[in-house]
Homo-oligomer: A and B are copies of this chain.
Amino acid sequence: MIKDNTVFVGNKPVMNYVLAVVTQFNNGADEVSIKARGKAISRAVDTAEIALNRFLEDVAKKEIVTSTEIIDTESGQTNVSSIEILLAQR
């Protein structure tokens, strides 16, 4: 089975990311990690909730981790929050 499947959530419509997560499980993944930074964090939570509630029967949230990442920008370094939601087959 494929390991370390990650879906990075950005600014596209949430169903794009839901489809990506569901597809990875349908392709045999045991675990899928949903990651996002900054304002996309809300969409990452939406992605996990919609995927679990509407599409994935035997999958559950395994772990949710938040952290702070240091990003280099044109005006120097800045901190941004990030989230990782790990979904796994039950």
User: A18 in the interface, Cβ–Cβ < 8 Å?
Assistant: no
* Interchain nearest-CB distance for A62 vs B (Å): 12
A39, A40, A41, A53 pick with most chain B CB within 10 angstroms: A41
User: A65 in the interface, Cβ–Cβ < 8 Å?
Assistant: yes
For residue A49, which residues in chain B have a CB less than 8 angstroms away from its CB?
66-68, 79, 81
What is the CA–CA distance of A65 and B65 in the complex, to the nearest angstrom? 10
For residue A79, which residues in chain B have a CB less than 8 angstroms away from its CB?
49, 53
B85 pairs with A45, CB closer than 8 A: no
User: A38 in the interface, Cβ–Cβ < 8 Å?
Assistant: yes
User: A48 in the interface, Cβ–Cβ < 8 Å?
Assistant: yes
